[in-house]
Amino acid sequence: MFTQIRSIASRSQATLVQDMAGAVALVVMLVVGLHLPFFV
């Protein structure tokens, strides 16, 4: 199973970086959205 995950990650390395950037952006928006009432 681990070898399958490694082969998938090596084949789609460019999109993996984009997916991680998207996930980080979503987490940042979630944190900002949750802390927004504190600033109002």
For 1-40, what is each residue's pLDDT tens digit? Answer: 889 988 888 888 888 889 999 999 999 999 999 998 877 7
| DSSP code of residue 12 | T
pLDDT of residue 3: 92
Tokens 């950037």 correspond to: 21
Other beta carbons within 10 Å of 6: 10
pLDDT of residue 29: 96
